[in-house]
Structure 1
């Protein structure tokens, strides 16, 4: 016992002595280290020195070598610039202040060291403009708030002895000082405008220190480009078209107001004369126009054109009320040319768009579903632009790990909603308006193939004429806007529209651009219109065949559906596509935009349209069935939005998910429309059918066309990157929504509504 205790005590004493010895050694080591660094820490790693890509000090110190490598004009003005910096000249310091430098947030994703192109351009001020600006500053509270800084700055202003220019340097930073993988940064430089792009490259190489490791990828100058809008042919065409349409709008609106006043005067006279109804308008033509409303008939009568298409129905994204159909019993006879002019009336078209009623061949809840989907699309595209042009890109990796943000990442399902709605309207309106329950009338008395062919080209031609006018105009705007931004913005464009649109615009007009590589696509978001038009062609064939051969048409639909599923699964499996991990656009050119992978939701919509037609929107369901339907639909939507959060799928499961998920989303939407149309929608139907949503739904097509332009102009017209915060993103998104819809109303009033009305006026059936 005593021996064991002695051994244990001896063991602990040895351990304690070792600990004391080690602590003494550590203390002595620390003291020695402090003594060695008593003179200071001379080898600190400072990030702004490591990332000082363009060091003006190095250029100045080695100027005797640098000036021989650059052009004479640049050499002369750069010598003056360096002398100005050495003398502390105000204009030279402002130039240095305008140049971009690394400041903060490198590890948070700050790849844009843009400086200020605005400040650089304002360094060259005339004395008159400088005095005027000083007067403005004196009359504002801003000068007082900033301690008279602006006023003092203008009083100290000096013009440089040359015109300044702004250059954007694109540099690849390699793995220096373990800063991570190579990254590309954009850096703005305010230098003499006489310097050529090759001069900037030479000076950048000279300014490089021995510790820096980077590669120059390119350099361009937003201030030295030769681009002129007035010399651009596309802009000239757009300008002429805009002036012509503006004149037609003025003429049509003025004519409409005059006729309305005349009609109101006739109504007042009618009170005093019983014979007023026998009087005519003395030979203005043979057709009629409702001067009191200018809106479609709200009776049970459905107006159709020569191809059996309801003249008041927009079969894609707009609404039936865009077509003006005269219905008043108090009629004025107008010529066709007067009616064509009246189709541009802002008053009439705005009333039609904002009408709180819907046609008999439209499901009210469609309006709400379409509007909410459009808001979702704008949100997704806004986030894409913000992520690309932000100075804290790494924030995306943080927010993507939030559960609620999965709704943004899965915004692709909003497009599936559009496909579902389009397929539903094509099927439902076709059966309901063309046959009214007697489908054999469509081909009665004529050869089946001839009648079907004539009907097919009528459907496709009507759609082409209705969609193409606003589409072609916006296509031109995209080309000009992106060419202007590519030349004048400090940022690089997200796509090559300024190159692709002049070459491949004809693919867009033929709606076949998704059949070509995405690198060649003009107006990238137009892939939806291409797919939807191709789906419309398939749907028209199925519907025409289904008039007499319903089972065969149903078999065709099933074959198309299964083929789409199988093709998508094969592509996803062969490319190892993981929906829960990949960027939603990772396989854009293989899965996302191809018609054979996105057909499912459209076919589901066609099936729902046929079901509601056959049942006349009268389906009896028990409370249990209704509860099960809403439960299944809700679970499906929530699973598709959030089900893959932090989940890992096998290769086969991922392929199956990629194949079936879009169709499953359409199935969930199908229940919502069926329930709302048959009286089982409850508060959901009240929300989706709210009349306040009708105007926004009717301009959805134009809103889809213009909203990405608004996104890009906002980001690329700025001279600094966007900083992402919750408040900033919320304010930005709301501004994008308002701006997009304002432009959408303008485009719809100018192009979409007039074209739909003119198609009705020129209808052979209407003339008869």
Structure 2
């Protein structure tokens, strides 16, 4: 068994070393919190071959650089741009537009008004000169406009890299420009029009121009038909199952009502007639016995099919999800509150990232990051550690409780039979988990790919999320739960790294549990293995952090993502702590007596540890050695603090905190956290990048958007759970029984 420990630890170190060596050629540097990072860091990467510079400066112009910049891409100056157009039709339509614009014709002024231009706050982060795609489309509506353009108009979005001078723009900024122009010009014509602009700055380059919306059609996408067909079939089965359950329950009520009436009539007859023939009782008893036998035969014949069908019933599944009474006395009630607040914390930080991506006043992000409470957002990575801890705790506690209830006599087995039995058991455990989690996971993965493909085709923004490309290529990595071992730029569903880690930890925990349940000596071996794994995790994380000069600070919550953030050797600490806490709760049967001094000291230490981990970085962050220790030990320290909270709450030492976390209202929300985690980023993309223009960043706006994201995420999670999670759980119970 000692060889097993050495093998596991060697594997962990080898994987970490392999990742380090693969990325050693890349020099790690922090992105500074300047406007170039805030604008360019969220944009879709563009090939340099697409870059086209503007024309040189016009020496006849005697204006300052700011005067030139404020009048950049002004349509009134485009008469000199016509000679560069190759298309005669485009040139004619532009001439018509410019002539009518000079005459202040209604449709021409609306075209001009729907196009983007400088409106201020560029030096405070406003990179969106988007105009309005909606208004550009609306001006051709003959029902609402007396005058419409004599040609078809379309909306175009151009990405432009601009550098005015070293003082105004120390680094190059990326500008998003919306233009409402004739459809006849197309992408090439619009690019040529923009390139004819005179450049009086340090550099102005057109990175790309695209039509909005593009040529992508949902109806022509095969994956839309596959996903839509799956949804329709699932909904049809759910409807049939729900109607079947309603009919069956209605029949049962009628039968019970008739039986009650018959019993009452018989009782009344017995009370009125004391000379009842005993043969009637015998006859009635015989009929009841025959009826029960017929019912058993019918249940045996139709039971399996009916149970499989009723597994999809929204009536019973919905009641199970929203029920607040289905709590066993042995359950760990406080984890429901921990789950809900953890997923709320995750949605909060993602809501801020959503706002940062589409805000016009990105400079306010820098001011927001200076606030002390913003560390709640930047250090939200610990919220995921809470889920790792809970997973390790529940897997261990439930497994030992299940095994302890088995009263089967132990039969002597040889080594070969023992290995076969444990291997089969391990496969059953793994298959149960995979089949339980994967259907909802793959459904959201497919929906996410379609949503991102639609967004990149219809949105005026250019999000750096390229799941419509990566998911098409690398979805199998997600299905195999190994996507966290690949670079971030190849990720499909960036947030799915959690599912990969959790599944890998579950595999490791299953092996340790199968060993530990065999006896006291094997428990000691499992404990030693956990200790060695935790020590290896600390050492590997520390070495990688030191190698890359990692600095933990508020502005860079996702620093060293490929090297540290999503890797199992950094994240396994809370899971291992959860395993130990689960075993401890099993051994003490959730009962332990502690003195008030111990209880007080435990609560003070745990809460102080949690607070220091979240709010201990300060304005400047930690130095290199301190950051390495923070990265290596911080997640494990978080798990230790949660272990105390859980054990104290379960053993009657939680007080008000236990009463709050164990509130029954958290129970249905806790059941939906998995689906809410899966779907909430998809909803954020779908609701933010479809906007017609940018938002204005403010903390009050962030709270409003966060509240809406929470409600919408849990509503969609309820629907996904009804369709793909609860039915699968019911089917697995039937199959694995």
Same fold (TM over 0.5): yes
Determine helix, strand or coil for the equivalent of 1:400. helix
Corresponding residue of 2:727: 754
Paired residues of 1:434 and 1:442 also in contact (CA < 8 A) = no
Of residues 116, 120, 129, the one that matches 1:113 is: 129
Alpha-carbon distance in 2 for matches of 1:714, 1:212: 37
**Candidates 563, 571, 574, aligned match of 1:598:** 571
Partner of 2:148: 159
Name the SS of the counterpart of 1:243 in structure 2. Answer: helix
In the alignment, which of 75, 90, 94 is matched to residue 91 of structure 2? 75
* Corresponding residue number in structure 2 for 1:10: none
Residue 626 (str. 1) matches residue 599 (str. 2): yes
Aligned equivalents of 1:443 and 1:200: distance in 2? 81
Instruction: Describe the SS at the equivalent of 1:718.
Output: coil
Q: CA separation of 1:666/1:51 partners in 2, compared to 1, >3 Å: closer, same or farther?
A: farther
| 1:59 paired to 2:78 | yes
How much does 1:359 deviate?
Answer: 3.0
Distance (whole Å) between structure 1 residues aligned to residue 319 and residue 229 of structure 2: 27
Which structure is higher in RCO with an 8 Å CA cutoff and minimum separation 6? 2
Per-residue CA deviation, residues 558-578 of structure 1 (Å, 9 max, x unaligned), is 111111111111111111111
8 Å CA contact 1:48, 1:102 repeated in 2: no
Distance in 2 between the 1:262 and 1:682 partners? 48
Residue number among 657, 671, 682 corresponding to 2:655 in the alignment:
682
Are residues 518 and 573 of structure 1, via their aligned partners in 2, closer, same or farther at CA, if it must alter by over 3 Å? Answer: same
Does 1:101 pair with 2:117? Answer: yes
Candidates 573, 579, 587, aligned match of 1:614:
587
Tell me what 2:314 maps to.
346
Query: 1:756 Cα shift?
Result: 0.3
5+ residue gaps in structure 1? Answer: 1-41, 131-153, 289-332
Match for residue 545 of structure 1 among 511, 515, 530: 515
> How far apart in 2 are the matches of 1:404 and 1:525?
24
Corresponding position of 1:145: none
Query: 2: distance between equivalents of 1:434 and 1:689?
Result: 26
Q: Which of 139, 159, 178 matches 2:167? A: 178
In structure 1, the residue corresponding to 2:209 is in which secondary structure?
A: strand
Aligned residue in 2 for 1:464? 434
Q: 1:459 to 1:92 in 2, by over 3 A?
A: same
- The corresponding residue for 1:335 is 303
Q: State the distance in 2 between where 1:373 and 1:221 align.
A: 40
Paired residue for 2:615? Answer: 642
The structural deviation recorded for 1:443 is: 8.9
Alpha carbons of 1:400 and 1:709: their partners in 2 closer, same or farther (altered >3 Å)? Answer: same
Give yes or no for the alignment of 1:365 onto 2:342: no
Q: Distance in 2 between matches of 1:277 and 1:103?
A: 86
| 1:389 counterpart = 2:362 | no
- Give CA-to-partner distance per residue, 1:552-595, whole Å, 9 cap, x none: 11111111111111111111111111112551112111111111
In 2, Cα distance between the equivalents of 1:440 and 1:412?
46
Conserved? CA contact 1:482–1:493, under 8 Å: no
Larger radius of gyration: 1
Candidates 247, 252, 256, aligned match of 1:258? 247
Can you list the C-alpha shifts for 1:396-421, whole angstroms capped at 9, x where unaligned?
11111111111111110000001101
Q: Is the alpha carbon distance of 1:490 and 1:184 closer, same or farther for their aligned partners in structure 2, counting shifts above 3 Å?
A: same
Superposed CA offset, 1:1-45 (max 9, x none)? xxxxxxxxxxxxxxxxxxxxxxxxxxxxxxxxxxxxxxxxx9885
Taking only aligned residues, the RMSD between alpha carbons, in angstroms, comes to 2.2
Deviation at 1:742, TM superposition (A): 0.5
Q: Deviations over 1:420-440 (max 9, x none)?
A: 011111111111122239899
Would you say the 8 A contact 1:284–1:334 is kept in 2?
A: no
2:666 match: 693
- The answer (yes or no) to whether the contact 2:164–2:201 under 8 Å persists in 1 is no
Question: Larger deviation: 86-95 or 42-51?
Answer: 42-51
Superposed, which structure 2 residues align to 1:134-213 within 5 Å? 154=145, 157-176=146-165, 178-180=167-169, 181-211=171-201, 213=203
From the superposition, tell whether residues 557 and 404 of structure 1 become closer, same or farther in structure 2 (CA, over 3 Å). same
Q: Which whole-Å CA distance do the structure 2 matches of 1:596 and 1:77 have between them?
A: 62
Q: Give distance in 2, aligned partners of 1:443 and 1:175.
A: 82
SS in 1 for 2:261: coil
Is 1:473 matched with 2:424?
no
The worse-fitting range, judged by mean Cα deviation, of 76-85 and 728-737 is: 76-85
TM-score (norm 2): 0.85
Tell me if structure 1 keeps the 8 A contact 2:378–2:557: yes
Mean CA deviation greater in 573-582 or 413-422 = 573-582
- Equivalent residues in 2 for 1:34-49, closer than 5 Å: 47=66, 49=68
Looking at secondary structure, tell me which structure has more helix per residue: 2
- Quote the Cα distance in structure 2 between the aligned partners of 1:243 and 1:121: 33
The equivalent of 1:534 in structure 2 is 504
Deviation at 1:444, TM superposition (A): 7.4
Residue 648 to residue 526, structure 1, CA distance change in 2 (3 Å):
closer
Match of 1:216, SS state, is strand
Alpha-carbon distance in structure 2 between the residues aligned to 1:211 and 1:530? 48
Residue in 1 aligned with 2:404?
435
Query: Which residue number corresponds to residue 217 of structure 1?
Result: 207
Mapped partners of 2:540, 2:76: distance in 1: 60
**Equivalent residue, structure 2, for 1:586:** 559
> Kindly tell me: are residues 211 and 613 of structure 1, through their superposed partners in 2, closer, same or farther at Cα, counting changes over 3 Å?
closer
- Rounded to whole Å, the distance in 2 between the matches of 1:165 and 1:348 is 51
* 8 Å CA contact 1:699, 1:745 repeated in 2: yes
Work out whether residues 167 and 220 of structure 1, in 8 Å CA contact, stay in contact via their aligned partners in 2: yes
- Equivalent residue for 1:310? none
Q: What is the CA-CA distance between 1:62 and the residue it aligns to?
A: 4.6
In 2: Cα distance, 1:107 partner to 1:438 partner: 73
Of 713, 723, 736, which residue of structure 1 is paired with 2:696?
723
Identify the match of residue 417 of structure 1 among 380, 386, 389. 386
Conserved? CA contact 1:346–1:749, under 8 Å: yes
Structure 2 SS opposite 1:646 = coil
| Equivalent position to 1:495, from 450, 465, 475 | 465
Q: Which secondary structure does the structure 2 equivalent of 1:215 belong to? A: strand
Contact 1:115-1:189 at 8 Å conserved across structures: yes
Contact 2:334 2:650 in 1 (8 A): yes
C-alpha contact (below 8 Å) 2:90/2:185 kept by paired residues: yes
Structure 1 distance, partners of 2:331, 2:421, is 26
Asked whether the equivalents of residues 707 and 740 of structure 1 are also in contact (C-alpha less than 8 Å), the reply is yes
Native 8 Å contact 2:672 2:717 kept in 1: yes
| Residues paired across the two proteins, number | 648
Provide the rounded CA distance (Å) in 2 between the counterparts of 1:581 and 1:382: 17
TM-score, length-normalised on structure 1? 0.81
| Residue 640 (structure 1) shift | 0.7
User: Cα offset for 1:210?
Assistant: 3.4
| Selected match of 2:685 from 698, 705, 712 | 712
- CA offset digits 1:325-359 (Å, max 9, x no partner): xxxxxxxx852121111111111011101121313
Q: Quickly say closer, same or farther: Cα 1:443–1:596, change in 2 above 3 A.
A: farther
Q: Which deviations, in whole Å up to 9, do the C-alpha atoms of 1:72-131 show, x marking residues without a partner?
A: 3322221221122122211111111001112121122111111100000111113xx33x
